[in-house]
Structure 1
């Protein structure tokens, strides 16, 4: 299983918290697997504190007495730690995403430069060297940076879609049938190419 990163962690923590709040049984390993070492230490300290309370005090009979001495069940301790963990992860989300982005950019640069320098060593032309680097980026799963849509591109695409819908509304029945046939033909051609 791949390592969880900052983009997966909040959702997984919330799912586990919901499970705990519903009262479902969650193993000790499953409770601790999503927590950082500091959070695990806080969990163990809170549980040890509750054990000490259980040894020194009798079980309280009312909620007021529980609150007065700080009595909590293991489930309540786990829920509290998970709520703190979710708040902490959400606070560090921006920094985590920036680290992921920086790491991805470094990997992409390394892939490009390795392919680029290898092509230069082979004596290829400068335009060919750049092409080899871009091909290596694509093979490694990094998208082409020039494919980012600008605000103007999005506006133009929206305008084209609106015009296309308007033209389709103004078509006669025969024209609509022809358009449907054309779309079916294009789909069939795409399937053949695959």
Structure 2
């Protein structure tokens, strides 16, 4: 969670909001833009909440220029007159800022997704390998170590299906599945019974996560 202070008219608003990543931001910006375009009332703290510092600064600078324009010109009577001198309402400045913010967010979306994927895969790999290595150090079999790694991923809420998967990821996971099937085919009856117990344990953990 993020707590931020947004100042308006010498009043500091403390806003608590969930942390957004790059995949959430464009849609949230579009939803707020639609409200502005419909003419709905949107508090300034909510307008600023989805913008970064640079975007807020540009929006405030754009409005400061409009205030200077109002000192020089009278309010235009027609849209043509307004366009001719660059006259904009506060709402129009905010809408323009949001359109620019959406373009910037969507422009960085692919790189942001790649960065999230890398972060998630790094964390998942670390969690899995720690549990896998520990199981092997304890003298457990390869399939038991694999199961221990999967259980650790479940507990950390990092199941493979929740990671943005590339074609290469899917190929690696398919190979892992084939190896696991090979291990299972070579198990004794007792080992297979133990494996079933571990699988049921995993299912129970997944249900508790939902």
Q: CA contact under 8 A between 1:138 and 1:144: conserved in structure 2? A: no
Structure 1 residue runs without a partner (length 5+): 150-193
1:120: how far off? 4.2
* Equivalent in the alignment of 2:129: 113
Within 1, Cα distance between the matches of 2:133 and 2:60? 52
1:125: how far off? 4.1
Higher strand share: 2
* Equivalent in the alignment of 1:175: none
2:35 equivalent to 1:19: yes
* Equivalent in the alignment of 1:179: none
Count of aligned pairs: 149
2:47 equivalent to 1:47: no
* Equivalent in the alignment of 2:77: 61
1:72: how far off? 0.4
Higher helix share: 1
**Deviations for 1:4-31, whole angstroms, at most 9, x for unmatched residues?**
1122211111111111011111111110
Q: CA contact under 8 A between 1:39 and 1:81: conserved in structure 2? A: yes
Q: What is the alpha-carbon root mean square deviation over aligned residues?
A: 2.3
Taking structure 2 as the reference length, what is the TM-score of the superposition? 0.64
1:131: how far off? 2.5
Structure 2 residue runs without a partner (length 5+): 1-16, 162-168, 172-206
* Equivalent in the alignment of 1:191: none
Instruction: Give the secondary structure class of the aligned counterpart of 1:98.
Output: helix
1:89: how far off? 1.2
Within 2, Cα distance between the matches of 1:110 and 1:15? 37
Taking structure 1 as the reference length, what is the TM-score of the superposition? 0.68
Rg larger for: 1
2:121 equivalent to 1:91: no
1:136: how far off? 0.8
Alignment CA distance shift 1:144-1:86 (3 Å): closer
